[in-house]
Amino acid sequence: MSKKVKITPEVVAEHGLSEEEYEVILDRLGREPNINELGIFSVMWSEHCSYKSSRRHLSKFLTKGDRVIQGPGENAGVIDIDDGDAIIFKMESHNHPSYIEPYQGAATGVGGIMRDVFTMGARPIALMNALRFGEHSHWKTKQLVNGVVAGIGGYGNCVGVPTVGGETNFHKGYNGNILVNAMCVGLARTDKVFYSAAKGVGNPIFYVGSKTGRDGIHGATMASAEFDDNSEEKRPTVQVGDPFTEKLLIEACLELMETDAIIAIQDMGAAGLTSSSIEMADKGGVGVLINLDDVPQREEGMTPYEMMLSESQERMLMVIKPGKEKLAYEIFEKWELDVALIGKTTDTGRLVLKHKKKKVCDIPIAPLADDAPNLNRPYKVPKPLPIINSSDIHETQDYNDALLRIMGSPDICSKRWIWEQYDRHVMTDTLDSSQSGGDAAIIRIHNKNKAVAITTDCTPRYVQADPYQGGKQCVAETWRNLTCVGADPIAITDCLNFGNPEREDIMGQFVGAIEGMNEACRAFDYPVVSGNVSLYNETNGVAIPPTPAVGGVGLIPDLEYFSSISGAKEGDTLIMIGETNGWLGSSIYLREILRREDGAPPPVDLDVEKINGDYIRKLIRNKRVNAVHDCSDGGMAIAACELALTNNIGVHLQRSSGCPLHAWLFGEDQARYLISVEKNSVNPILTTAEDRGVKAYIVGKVGGMNIKAEGAFDLPISTVREKHENFLPELMS
């Protein structure tokens, strides 16, 4: 785009800026911007970069804790896991690009989240994802699943970082907008954490990585707008990734980080060179001068506008200590990466760009960053759906059929077809992953007797029914899942996926969910240290179900004391920790068996969650349990089936409640754990539970080769397994 473009109201609107926002730009500059400056304002003030609709609400989150080294505001969050080790992690969305171009959209989502992590000095050690697709019968779902899974596997496998878990759901609410949320966890030393704040005056600014091309221009703006029937035309705004270059970039950056050459470092993510340079300058309180002629370019005749707004992948920006330039050149050239000195820090507080010896941009940094719009959008939190008494919900006439239908349903079915495409064991430290069917992945800290546990969770149907309770539940379930493997939950990252915030009902969903999430974080001392907001996930005015995905990280301090779903033994007793009242509102049973999506979701009592979870971790560390599994989607019956399938051993459920049979089996009451224990542990567990005020009771036994419940179902494991495994292979065949 030429710098001679006349700035008209139409051009302003094309850049996603409102009339009011443009008036602010005129005020801040004291003049009309040129096209380069307008483009820079447009991406920095986009929803994706500025968080203009969400910032004031995100500030409510608990962000500090005893183990928090760095909370929100940097590329990723940092937590202390003892012995001088730090975990650096974040979750981020790549929703819009993945719908338009599923392979590249998902692949570059993985690449981008890894750069956020190794930018701070961490070697990536694990990847996870949270995926939402439309209903399986929709004409586009198969294509999208195939492309997204291939993109995630293709990028992660080539870089050599294990993809160890995640979640995949299907619902008609995602027909027009799929969600691809990627999470990366990295390992660093606490004394080798790197930050993005540029310091000093006259320090050299280095560009490293791949050359800049025309791919991804206006990617941030595209991600800040809803779709319509012409969204396919936005394909050119999707970036193209190269995992092999990313691998070289990781190694080169980590090598340079072993020296004392780096003052500041920032990856070029959304808005590319624009956001990276502005964020570094703003955080450090300096200005920057960049000579665009020195930027490595992949294509001829690139304009300043194109170079600044390109989102070409595998690129980093660094401020290097004076005198260390030669060292930087040597390391990056050794790894066969493009490297160039493109500018310097200044004391002006301005972004100045030169191109062909002419100044093509001269604007203050502050209005582009912290002074960006911070909107107080009106909102109306939706009223929760009414409570449905379980006795008013029809009982199935065929429990065998009901169990098989739920076990074979899109959300509950085996995701083997997906995870078999991911390398789960590269780097050799994966102790548990998606293939076990357990609650959290476990990654050993290399050559040490400790591990981190990782999980991602969200139950959108709960958030849809009651944003506040649903928000609490998202956080609580990650906390439970980490607890199931014996980890001490430390902190979360999140990816908040919602529709158009200009609608009061959507903004109300967002605010309600945050209120619930924050309450849970404070109850568990479980802070938010990083995250991402993805808004405008809707097509032709139809929004996605509200989906605040949460990624949790915990520490297993001693690998002698951890648990999983896979330790159940013949003759074990099944004990339920937590009360079963048979809550069926917004349940899987209601949706899959009765084709209803109504009713208030199960309430989340955070005090009970805390008491029960602490008790489970104590049992694990006292070696009182053989297997532990969170009781969530589908209730006790589904938790028991998953335990049976993982261990290839039967279970026999024995009724222990006065609630209706279908509610007892399929109710989704919260704060519950299904544990498998040896006979000699039964009485001590029941006794100590009572002493602690924990509800604990026998619900069955382990043994045989059938999955059965008295008065309900009785099926061979092989029959349940076949139904459980078939959905995705049949869909993708």
- Based on its alpha-carbon atoms, the radius of gyration of the chain, rounded to whole angstroms, reads 26
Q: What is the Cα–Cα distance from 90 to 267, expressed in whole angstroms? A: 14
Are 131 and 167 in contact by the 8 Å Cβ rule? The answer is: yes
Q: What is the Cα–Cα distance from 97 to 239, expressed in whole angstroms? A: 8
Residue closest to 222 by CA, chosen among 113, 311, 130, 104: 311
Residue closest to 113 by CA, chosen among 180, 177, 28, 47: 180
Residue closest to 404 by CA, chosen among 705, 728, 720: 720
Are 264 and 322 in contact by the 8 Å Cβ rule? The answer is: no
Compute φ and ψ for 608, nearest 5 degrees: -65, -40
Are 97 and 237 in contact by the 8 Å Cβ rule? The answer is: yes
Compute φ and ψ for 201, nearest 5 degrees: -120, 135
Kindly compute the dihedral angle of the four CA atoms of residues 24, 29, 35, 37, in this order, to the nearest 10 degrees.
-100
Are 117 and 551 in contact by the 8 Å Cβ rule? The answer is: no
Q: Is 48 a catalytic residue?
A: yes
Q: What is the Cα–Cα distance from 119 to 599, expressed in whole angstroms? A: 45
Identify the three-state secondary structure at position 539.
Answer: strand
Region at 62 (left for phi over 0; alpha for psi -120 to 50; beta for the rest): beta
CA distances from 256 to 261, 280, 328 (A): 7, 19, 7
Residue closest to 626 by CA, chosen among 682, 672, 554: 682
Residue 615's contacts (CB-CB under 8 Å, 6 or more residues apart) are 577, 688, 689, 692, 694
Are 701 and 651 in contact by the 8 Å Cβ rule? The answer is: yes
Q: What is the Cα–Cα distance from 654 to 310, expressed in whole angstroms? A: 61
Joined together, the tokens standing for residue 383 give 């009223």
Residue closest to 532 by CA, chosen among 88, 96, 55, 103: 55
Task: Check 48, 171, 218, 355 and give the catalytic one.
Answer: 48
Q: Which residues of 454-483 are buried (b: 16+ CB within 10 A; e: fewer)?
A: bbbbbbbbbbbbbbbbbbbbbbbbbbbbbb
Identify the three-state secondary structure at position 445.
Answer: coil
Compute φ and ψ for 673, nearest 5 degrees: -135, 135
Identify the three-state secondary structure at position 176.
Answer: coil
Task: Check 94, 355, 652, 724 and give the catalytic one.
Answer: 94
Compute φ and ψ for 405, nearest 5 degrees: -65, -40
Compute φ and ψ for 282, nearest 5 degrees: -65, -45
Compute φ and ψ for 523, nearest 5 degrees: -65, -35
Are 449 and 559 in contact by the 8 Å Cβ rule? The answer is: yes
Joined together, the tokens standing for residue 568 give 């159940």
Per the listing, tokens 């539970």 go with 689
CA distances from 174 to 3, 181, 534, 574, 727 (A): 40, 14, 14, 37, 18
Joined together, the tokens standing for residue 22 give 């443009």
Active-site annotation, residues: 48, 94
